[in-house]
């Protein structure tokens, strides 16, 4: 069983295994499995419904993993039994990586009652928690989105705030990617002034659980990322940076934005400045 994580400034965004075990059958809780349908069919947490990350992150204008349109997101949530009063808990097998991308979308679309499972699905099973293959019978609801543009950044917003001392930028790629971003057409470098902190430095890789609050805050402060500032996270395609976004929210950073276009957008636009 994972330990209680009440040392975080915003612990209500975390569902440890003890909490989740006690709320599996709550009618106002919807558990979302963000893994692939194949993984879900092999076994999942009881009462979990499957929302693969590709259902809520689409290719748009040549960019991968962009936020789906409002109506599409509303339709998926309604079909899966999520309404505006539902507490949503998301999990995956990737240390919360894909679950966080889903939860960032959820908060962007105005839903504030959510939690990320503290630990990977593999850790859940390793500790002996039950899994099932039964698909729950879900009654469709009516989910109404209310997009919050303060949770999203695009290249124009970032460019207009590069010299704003109240805004900090966090590059969640690994340092190697800054030098060699990989795909053809992407420039090397990073957004000017961005601090680099690889997304998975926040988790214990063997369990997918978050590292301690003090350690995470210390690493962020070393890079000039402090709670009173507005923080923009980005990576290559907006997925890893969504995890860092959720970690920031758990750590009490109230003003955070995810750049879902990320380096695929910024690095391919020669009109935008880069720093090495």
**Beta-sheet pairing, 57-60 with 29-33:** unpaired
Whether residue 4 has pLDDT greater than 70: no
Residues contacting 254, CB < 8 A, separation 6+ = 227
CB 63 within 8 A of CB 55: no
DSSP letters for 183-237 = STTPPSSBSTT-EE--GGGGB-TTT-PBPPHHHHHHHHHHTT--TTSEEEEE-SS
| Mean pLDDT calculated for residue range 165-184 | 95
Domains parsed from the chain with CATH numbers: 11-126 (3.40.250.10), 149-266 (3.40.250.10)
Six-digit token string for 37: 């349908």
**What's the mean pLDDT when you consider all of the chain?**
96
Average pLDDT over residues 107-113: 98
Question: What is the SS3 assignment for 39-77?
Answer: HHHHCECCCEEECCHHHHEEEECCEEEEECCHHHHHHHH
Q: Kindly tell me if the per-residue pLDDT of 138 is higher than 60.
A: yes
Q: Across residues 215-237, what is the average pLDDT?
A: 97
Task: Return d(Cα 111, Cα 77) in angstroms, integer.
Answer: 11
What pLDDT band is residue 182 in, cutting at 50, 70 and 90? confident
* Lowest mean pLDDT across 73-77, 139-143, 181-185, 209-213: 181-185
With cut-offs at 50, 70 and 90, classify the pLDDT of residue 1.
very low
Q: What is the pLDDT of residue 28?
A: 97
pLDDT of residue 144: 98
- Residues 27-46 have a mean pLDDT of 98
- Between CA 146 and CA 252 the distance in angstroms is 22
Residue 148 has pLDDT above 70, yes or no: yes
Instruction: Reduce the DSSP state of residue 145 to 3 states and report it.
Output: coil
Residue 2 pLDDT level (bands cut at 50, 70, 90): very low
DSSP state letter for 188: S
Residue 184 binned pLDDT confidence (cut-offs 50, 70, 90) = confident
Residue 5 pLDDT: 60
Tokens of 50: 């499957």
Tell me the sheet residues that pair with 174. Answer: none
* pLDDT for 3 beyond 50: no
């Amino acid at each position: 069983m994972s330990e209680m994580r009440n040392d975080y400034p915003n612990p209500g965004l975390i569902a440890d295994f003890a909490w989740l075990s006690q709320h599996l059958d709550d009618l106002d809780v919807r558990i979302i499995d963000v893994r692939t349908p194949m993984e879900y069919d092999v076994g999942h947490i009881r009462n979990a419904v499957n929302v693969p990350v590709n259902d809520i992150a689409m290719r748009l204008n040549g960019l991968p993993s962009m936020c789906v349109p409002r109506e599409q997101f509303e339709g998926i949530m309604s079909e899966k039994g999520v309404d505006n009063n539902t507490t949503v808990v998301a999990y995956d097998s990737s240390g919360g990586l894909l679950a966080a991308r889903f939860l960032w979308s959820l908060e962007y679309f105005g839903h504030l009652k959510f939690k990320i499972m503290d630990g990977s699905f593999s850790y859940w099973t390793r500790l002996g928690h039950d899994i099932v293959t039964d698909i729950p019978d879900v009654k469709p609801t009516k989910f109404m989105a209310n997009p919050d543009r303060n949770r999203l950044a695009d290249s124009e917003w970032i460019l207009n705030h590069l010299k704003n001392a109240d805004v900090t930028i966090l590059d969640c790629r690994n340092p190697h990617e800054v030098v060699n971003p990989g795909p053809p057409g992407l420039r090397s470098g990073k957004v000017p002034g961005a601090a680099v902190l690889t997304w998975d430095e926040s988790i214990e890789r063997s369990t997918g659980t978050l590292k301690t609050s003090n350690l995470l805050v210390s690493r962020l402060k070393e890079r000039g990322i402090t709670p009173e500032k507005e923080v923009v996270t980005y990576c290559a395609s907006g997925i890893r940076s969504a995890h860092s976004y959720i970690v920031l929210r758990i750590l009490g950073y109230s003003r955070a934005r995810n750049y879902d276009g990320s380096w695929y957008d910024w690095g391919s636009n020669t009109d935008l400045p880069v720093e090495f």
